Chain A
Amino acid sequence: AQTVTQSQPEMSVQEAETVTLSCTYDTSESDYYLFWYKQPPSRQMILVIRQEAYKQQNATENRFSVNFQKAAKSFSLKISDSQLGDAAMYFCAYRWGATNKLIFGTGTLLAVQP
């Protein structure tokens, strides 16, 4: 069965610094997608970034980038130049190719210190 593991329940970063959130997953599929979602205190789920497993290049969206290590089944999120608005719960999620069913990790609560 596919699983997603986030081993850091909480993280803290100073404003303007860089932080990396970890995610590992387990699958026997070759065609899959990985996502990072942000959930601020408003509770709204916001897609931050996605990575297609067939792409070797790591995805980047402005200050957010991923380190996708397919062989190690690792998918970490790097937030550069952290801002107060980045404070939120971050969820890693997995989806395999022929379905749109998401499997989520347990989340990492990120605090940004001014």
Chain B
Amino acid sequence: NAGVTQTPKFQVLKTGQSMTLQCAQDMNHEYMSWYRQDPGMGLRLIHYSVGAGITDQGEVPNGYNVSRSTTEDFPLRLLSAAPSQTSVYFCASSYGALGLEQFFGPGTRLTVL
């Protein structure tokens, strides 16, 4: 049982490049979400999904796309990276939308030059 996994752990992009941050969980969790962590700002919700085929926006969705074709995977796409997207990105999952504990992945540190 690997829990929540994220790849890559580190990434450097140039402004305007696109990339996909991968997130997978093997706990059969329905609910998955993406957060970004910036210094002095805590974690903020980007997008979330309550099940395969269902996604919705969080607090800071601009510049990011998501899709949920399977229960296990919830990739986050940066369409055209900007320096303001330099951050640490966390994926989380829980059993159902009311699952009381969210399990977090190890995070991806992204730098946009």
Contacts and interface: CB of A to CB of B under 8 A. Distances in A.
Interface of A: 4, 33, 42-45, 47, 50, 91, 93, 97-107
A47 B42 contact: no
Given A93-B43, A102-B102, A106-B40, 12 more contacts: A43-B106, A44-B106, A44-B107, A45-B90, A45-B104, A91-B42, A100-B31, A100-B102, A101-B48, A102-B35, A102-B43, A106-B41
- Contact residues on B (Cβ < 8 Å of other chain), bracket: 20 to 34
10 contacts: A44-B107, A45-B43, A45-B104, A47-B102, A101-B33, A102-B43, A102-B102, A105-B42, A106-B40, A107-B42
Interface of B: 31, 33, 35, 40-45, 48, 58, 88, 90, 92, 94, 96-102, 104, 106-107
A99 B106 contact: no
A93 B100 CA distance: 12
